[in-house]
Structure 1
Amino acid sequence: MFSRRHEPPPSSNKSFSKSHHKASKSSSSFSKQNGVSKSRHEPRRRPTTATSTNDATMSPSSVLTPSIVTLVVGKEQRIFAAHKDVLCASPWFERTMSGMYMDPASNKRIHLPDEEPEIFSSVLEYLYKGDYYPRLVHNKKRNSWEIEQLDEDARGSLESTVYHHSVDGDILKDTIIYCTAEKYGLEELKRVALRKQGLQSGIQCSTILTSARYAYANTPDTDSKLRAHYLALIIRSRSTFKRSGTMQLEIFNGGTQLFFDLFVALCNHVDDISSAQ
């Protein structure tokens, strides 16, 4: 229900893959004391972090409570409701609401037309619970971070990519969440999203490059984590990229800062190998 799926254009079937990680199964349902609905959205079988419905059917009593803020998200104007105090964990929302609550005529409604509802739902889930579905868990025996182990039904409905209207294609969900957290000033959410996307596997080369371009377009030049993650990912899977021809097509379509950084990173990689020899 959150977002329509979009099949990526035909390209190589080559994909970057790494070993899957396992973790203990855990519950990810939401409690009513957080001021949110337990109802699930179809077709994805996943918990939600806020009430989502159409604007025309929103009950007036649910938006007039002083501590509740209504958020209109995406092109389809999906409605979310969240507590003001929860949203204030974000400096961006705190600044936005400071002026809104000083205006008696304000309807306590924030419009976010450029956000994807599914992504914004994950951001709200993090603000209420400290993580988003599927959860990140720590394996004490291996001393490593892993994605929680899901049952068969949940695993079948889980998607690592999300359609984004700005590129008219699929992007790694954790990358979009990282960039959204950058916008809203949620540093810890950025760390969670970065760690999760490092555990993804089986992603097509074309999706990796689309996600990398999106990351460069939506992070500041001073970002040294998400951008470096993509540079290292492309270098590690360089043989797959070489066979697929995807990188060649990307370069022909026009170079960006991404490709200059990749060139520098590859030169440094070669220098390191030469020094070791």
Structure 2
Amino acid sequence: MFSRRFEPPQSQSKSFSKSQKLGRSSSSFSKEAGVSKRRHESRRRPSTATNAAAALDPQAEISAIVTLVVGQEQRIFAAHENVLCMSPFFQSVLHNQMLDSQSKKISLPDEEPEIFSSILEYLYKGDYYPRLLHNKKRNSWEIEQPSDDGRAETTIYHHGIDGDLLKDTVIYCAAEKYGLEELKRVALRKQGLQSGIQASTILASARYAYANTPDTDSKLRAHYLALIIRSRSTFKRSGTMQLEMFNGGTQLFFDLFVALSNHVDDISSAATPRTPRSGRPF
């Protein structure tokens, strides 16, 4: 049911340190990361689509199988129709017969196979690897740690931009497209726990987020604005940031200017002593 394709990492310049308290992280996809197709599927996924669907819904075994052709290389995925219909996007496609009724095939040429695999994993299992876990002792959320020597990669090579993006950001934008609101919340929480992400990847991901979310989005966009402000000492030395701002072409930098202005105003207001009605300071 699931298929994976991994790309070599792209070299970048500056990166964030753990002291910026954004959680655990890693870098781009590689075979050494311990998330190859064979081992990844055998450890975290059902052996067949039928078994996965049956665990979700006893009636899933009688649901029709839909073939999905994903990405530039036309990777083949298979999923049960009733599982796909949990997404308003796929429900509309299937019920409005926007595909061959005999073959039940959907083409998604602009989607990344790695991202779509995570989407299917969420539809079948309610989360995607690495899972989001709640630490009851600390009353906090954490990212699942691999049980072997491998590590979960936080970035993905995206053919559309010819570079690396934060995987959870791409999943969030895909969830926006497919109408999966809970998946958006999961992806947003996960990326808030990441650290060690290179400055160039942060900026590329922020630009991607702005290009693939509506102007009304107040969560993912705000996440990036707050991240850049908190890490301003890194970004003000970043040549990538300077080049991105010079090239422009996005609402990101005006929103960043407004957010920084508000931040400065808040600091100024907190530092200004209160004045009594007599005009004399306390």
Q: Same fold (TM over 0.5)?
A: yes
| Residues 44 and 107 (structure 1), Cα distance of their counterparts in 2 relative to 1, 3 Å cut | same
Matching residue of 2:257 = 263
Q: Is the 8 A contact 1:50 1:81 kept in 2?
A: no
Structure exhibiting the larger radius of gyration computed from Cα positions: 2
Partner secondary structure for residue 153 of structure 1: coil
Residue 81 of structure 2: aligned partner: 84
CA contact (8 A) 1:74 1:113 kept: yes
Q: Over residues 49-92 of structure 1, what are the superposed CA-to-partner deviations in whole Å (9 max), with x where a residue is unaligned?
A: 7879xxxxxxxxxxxx8611111111111111111111111000
Match of 1:47 in 2: 44
Secondary structure in structure 2 of the residue aligned to 1:273: helix
Normalised by the length of structure 2, the TM-score is 0.79
One of 224, 227, 230 as aligned partner of 1:233: 227
Given the superposition, is the C-alpha separation of residues 21 and 7 from structure 1 closer, same or farther in structure 2, using an over 3 Å criterion?
closer
Q: 2:57 corresponds to which residue?
A: none
Work out the CA distance in 2 between the residues paired with 1:20 and 1:220: 25
Q: 1:21 to 1:161 in 2, by over 3 A?
A: closer
Alpha-carbon spacing, 1:235–1:177, altered in 2? closer, same or farther (3 Å): same
Percent of aligned pairs with the same residue?
A: 70
What residue number does 1:12 align with? Answer: 13
Q: 1:50 to 1:118 in 2, by over 3 A?
A: farther
Contact 1:51–1:81, Cα closer than 8 Å, also in 2: no
For residue 28 of structure 2, what is the aligned residue in structure 1?
none
Quote the offset at 1:47 in angstroms. Answer: 3.4
RMSD (Å), alpha carbons: 2.4
Q: What CA distance in whole angstroms lies between the structure 2 residues aligned with 1:140 and 1:212?
A: 32
Counterpart in the other structure of 1:171: 165
Match status 1:162 vs 2:163: no
- Once residues 92 and 202 of structure 1 are traced to their aligned partners in structure 2, the CA distance between those partners, rounded to angstroms, is 34
Q: How does 1:70-109 map to 2 (within 5 A)?
A: 70-100=67-97, 105-109=101-105
One-letter identity of the residue aligned with 1:265: A
Aligned equivalents of 1:66, 1:201: Cα separation in 2:
41
User: Which of 113, 128, 131 is the matching residue for 1:132?
Assistant: 128
**Matched position secondary structure for 2:96:** helix
Partner of 1:60: none
Q: Could you say which residue in structure 1 is the equivalent of 2:116? A: 120
Amino acid at match of 2:173: C
Structure 1 residues 177-221: Cα deviation after superposition (integer angstroms, max 9, x where no partner):
000000000000000000000001100000000000000000000
Which residue of structure 2 aligns with residue 210 of structure 1? 204
Alpha-carbon distance, 1:11 to partner: 4.4
| Distance in 1 separating the partners of 2:5 and 2:195 | 22
**Conservation of the 8 A alpha-carbon contact between 1:16 and 1:240:** no
**Contact 1:70/1:79 (8 A) holds in 2:** yes
TM-score, normalised with respect to structure 1: 0.81
User: SS of the counterpart of 2:153?
Assistant: coil
* Per-residue deviation, 1:6: 4.3
In structure 2, the CA distance between the partners of 1:147 and 1:111, relative to structure 1 (3 Å rule), is: same
Question: Residue 142 in 1 paired to residue 143 in 2?
Answer: no
CA distance in 2, matches of 1:196, 1:49: 23
C-alpha displacement of 1:250: 1.1
- Counterpart for residue 189 of structure 1: 183
Partner in structure 1 of residue 64 of structure 2: 67
Kindly state the Cα deviation for residue 42 of structure 1 after the two structures are TM-superposed. 4.8
Counterpart residue identity of residue 257, structure 2: F
Unpaired runs of 5+ residues, structure 2, are 25-35, 50-61, 272-282
Runs of 4+ in 1 over 6 A off after TM superposition: 49-52
Q: Which amino acid aligns with 1:47?
A: R
How big is the shift at 1:7? 3.6
Shift of 1:94: 0.3
